[in-house]
A = this chain, B = another copy of it.
Amino acid sequence: MADFKVLVVMGSDSDFPVMESCFKILQKFEIPFEARICSAHRSPYQAAQLASTAKASGFGVIIAAAGLAAHLPGVLAAYTILPVIGVPCKGGALNGVDALYAIVQMPTGIPVATVAIDGAANAAILAAQILALQNESLAQVLETYKKELEASVEKRNECLAEKLVSIGE
Protein backbone atom coordinates (compact mmCIF):
# COMPACT_ATOMS: atom_id res chain seq x y z
CA MET A 1 0.00 0.00 0.00
CA ALA A 2 2.78 2.44 0.91
CA ASP A 3 5.17 3.74 -1.70
CA PHE A 4 8.26 3.08 0.39
CA LYS A 5 9.30 -0.26 1.77
CA VAL A 6 10.31 -0.77 5.40
CA LEU A 7 13.66 -2.38 6.14
CA VAL A 8 13.62 -4.44 9.33
CA VAL A 9 17.07 -5.32 10.65
CA MET A 10 17.76 -7.57 13.63
CA GLY A 11 21.11 -7.79 15.36
CA SER A 12 20.68 -11.49 15.94
CA ASP A 13 18.15 -14.17 15.07
CA SER A 14 17.41 -14.44 18.79
CA ASP A 15 15.57 -11.14 18.29
CA PHE A 16 13.13 -12.81 15.89
CA PRO A 17 10.48 -13.87 18.44
CA VAL A 18 10.32 -10.31 19.75
CA MET A 19 10.01 -8.94 16.23
CA GLU A 20 7.13 -11.20 15.19
CA SER A 21 4.59 -8.62 16.32
CA CYS A 22 6.38 -6.07 14.14
CA PHE A 23 6.10 -8.27 11.07
CA LYS A 24 2.44 -9.01 11.81
CA ILE A 25 1.54 -5.34 11.99
CA LEU A 26 3.38 -4.59 8.75
CA GLN A 27 1.54 -7.47 7.07
CA LYS A 28 -1.79 -6.39 8.55
CA PHE A 29 -1.24 -2.85 7.29
CA GLU A 30 -0.04 -4.24 3.92
CA ILE A 31 3.21 -2.33 4.12
CA PRO A 32 5.93 -3.93 2.00
CA PHE A 33 9.03 -4.79 3.98
CA GLU A 34 12.26 -6.72 3.87
CA ALA A 35 13.88 -8.35 6.87
CA ARG A 36 17.59 -8.85 7.47
CA ILE A 37 19.82 -10.15 10.21
CA CYS A 38 22.82 -7.89 10.35
CA SER A 39 25.12 -7.14 13.27
CA ALA A 40 26.87 -3.86 13.93
CA HIS A 41 29.70 -5.88 15.43
CA ARG A 42 29.82 -9.22 13.66
CA SER A 43 29.00 -7.99 10.15
CA PRO A 44 29.84 -4.28 10.21
CA TYR A 45 30.57 -3.98 6.51
CA GLN A 46 27.13 -5.32 5.62
CA ALA A 47 25.53 -3.01 8.14
CA ALA A 48 27.24 -0.03 6.55
CA GLN A 49 26.33 -1.24 3.08
CA LEU A 50 22.73 -1.94 4.02
CA ALA A 51 22.12 1.46 5.55
CA SER A 52 24.00 3.53 3.01
CA THR A 53 22.05 1.98 0.12
CA ALA A 54 18.66 1.75 1.86
CA LYS A 55 17.26 4.99 0.48
CA ALA A 56 18.28 4.20 -3.08
CA SER A 57 16.82 0.72 -2.66
CA GLY A 58 13.37 2.15 -2.09
CA PHE A 59 13.18 1.98 1.67
CA GLY A 60 11.53 4.81 3.54
CA VAL A 61 12.03 3.72 7.13
CA ILE A 62 14.49 1.40 8.87
CA ILE A 63 13.45 -0.56 11.94
CA ALA A 64 16.42 -1.95 13.87
CA ALA A 65 16.17 -4.27 16.85
CA ALA A 66 19.04 -5.16 19.13
CA GLY A 67 19.81 -6.15 22.70
CA LEU A 68 22.66 -5.63 25.17
CA ALA A 69 25.08 -2.92 23.93
CA ALA A 70 22.58 -2.31 21.16
CA HIS A 71 24.62 -0.33 18.64
CA LEU A 72 22.81 -1.49 15.53
CA PRO A 73 20.15 1.24 15.25
CA GLY A 74 22.69 4.00 15.84
CA VAL A 75 25.22 2.50 13.47
CA LEU A 76 22.62 2.22 10.71
CA ALA A 77 21.52 5.78 11.39
CA ALA A 78 25.11 6.91 10.92
CA TYR A 79 24.97 5.84 7.28
CA THR A 80 21.57 7.14 6.18
CA ILE A 81 19.23 10.09 6.36
CA LEU A 82 16.22 7.78 6.53
CA PRO A 83 14.40 7.76 9.85
CA VAL A 84 15.65 4.82 11.93
CA ILE A 85 13.35 3.30 14.54
CA GLY A 86 15.17 1.44 17.32
CA VAL A 87 13.69 -1.46 19.28
CA PRO A 88 15.64 -2.24 22.47
CA CYS A 89 15.38 -5.98 23.13
CA LYS A 90 15.11 -7.37 26.63
CA GLY A 91 17.76 -9.97 27.28
CA GLY A 92 20.81 -10.52 29.42
CA ALA A 93 21.30 -9.50 32.99
CA LEU A 94 20.15 -5.92 32.60
CA ASN A 95 16.74 -6.77 31.13
CA GLY A 96 17.03 -4.38 28.22
CA VAL A 97 17.94 -1.23 30.11
CA ASP A 98 21.37 -1.47 28.51
CA ALA A 99 19.77 -1.74 25.08
CA LEU A 100 17.38 1.14 25.81
CA TYR A 101 20.19 3.48 26.86
CA ALA A 102 22.44 2.39 23.98
CA ILE A 103 19.67 3.16 21.49
CA VAL A 104 17.96 6.24 22.87
CA GLN A 105 20.92 8.26 24.14
CA MET A 106 22.25 9.10 20.66
CA PRO A 107 24.42 12.22 20.34
CA THR A 108 23.25 15.33 18.54
CA GLY A 109 23.11 14.91 14.80
CA ILE A 110 22.13 11.26 14.52
CA PRO A 111 18.71 10.54 16.08
CA VAL A 112 17.17 7.13 16.57
CA ALA A 113 13.40 7.02 17.11
CA THR A 114 13.28 4.72 20.10
CA VAL A 115 10.24 2.68 21.15
CA ALA A 116 9.68 0.65 24.32
CA ILE A 117 11.81 -2.32 25.33
CA ASP A 118 10.50 -5.18 23.17
CA GLY A 119 8.13 -2.63 21.59
CA ALA A 120 8.24 -4.31 18.20
CA ALA A 121 4.59 -3.76 17.30
CA ASN A 122 4.89 -0.07 18.04
CA ALA A 123 7.93 0.16 15.78
CA ALA A 124 5.75 -1.05 12.94
CA ILE A 125 2.93 1.33 13.83
CA LEU A 126 5.35 4.23 14.01
CA ALA A 127 6.73 3.29 10.61
CA ALA A 128 3.17 3.25 9.31
CA GLN A 129 2.50 6.69 10.80
CA ILE A 130 5.57 8.04 9.03
CA LEU A 131 4.68 6.49 5.70
CA ALA A 132 1.04 7.56 6.03
CA LEU A 133 2.07 11.20 5.70
CA GLN A 134 2.13 10.69 1.94
CA ASN A 135 -0.27 7.83 1.63
CA GLU A 136 -3.84 8.69 2.49
CA SER A 137 -5.09 5.11 2.29
CA LEU A 138 -2.48 4.05 4.85
CA ALA A 139 -3.67 6.97 6.97
CA GLN A 140 -7.16 5.52 6.75
CA VAL A 141 -5.81 2.14 7.86
CA LEU A 142 -4.28 3.83 10.90
CA GLU A 143 -7.49 5.68 11.72
CA THR A 144 -9.35 2.39 11.56
CA TYR A 145 -6.73 0.69 13.71
CA LYS A 146 -7.10 3.45 16.31
CA LYS A 147 -10.85 2.88 16.40
CA GLU A 148 -10.28 -0.85 16.80
CA LEU A 149 -8.07 -0.19 19.79
CA GLU A 150 -10.79 1.90 21.36
CA ALA A 151 -13.43 -0.69 20.58
CA SER A 152 -11.33 -3.47 22.08
CA VAL A 153 -11.18 -1.56 25.36
CA GLU A 154 -14.94 -1.24 25.38
CA LYS A 155 -15.32 -4.94 24.63
CA ARG A 156 -13.14 -5.92 27.55
CA ASN A 157 -15.38 -3.94 29.84
CA GLU A 158 -18.17 -6.33 29.04
CA CYS A 159 -16.25 -9.26 30.48
CA LEU A 160 -15.38 -7.32 33.60
CA ALA A 161 -18.74 -7.68 35.32
CA GLU A 162 -18.47 -11.47 35.29
CA LYS A 163 -14.98 -11.44 36.66
CA LEU A 164 -16.01 -9.19 39.50
CA VAL A 165 -18.90 -11.46 40.38
CA SER A 166 -16.54 -14.40 40.67
CA ILE A 167 -14.40 -12.47 43.18
CA GLY A 168 -17.39 -11.72 45.33
CA GLU A 169 -18.24 -15.35 45.65
Interface positions of A (Cβ within 8 A of B): 4, 11-13, 16, 20-21, 23-24, 27, 35-46, 48, 55, 60-61, 67-71, 74-75, 77-79, 81-83, 85, 90, 92-98, 100-119, 121-123, 125-126, 129-134, 139, 142-143, 145-146, 149-150, 152-154, 156-157, 159-160, 163-164, 167-168
Contacts and interface: CB of A to CB of B under 8 A. Distances in A.
A163 B114 contact: no
A145 to B, nearest CB: 8
B106 A41 contact: yes
A30 B164 CA distance: 14
Contacts of A93: 90, 95-97, 117-118
A153 B122 contact: no
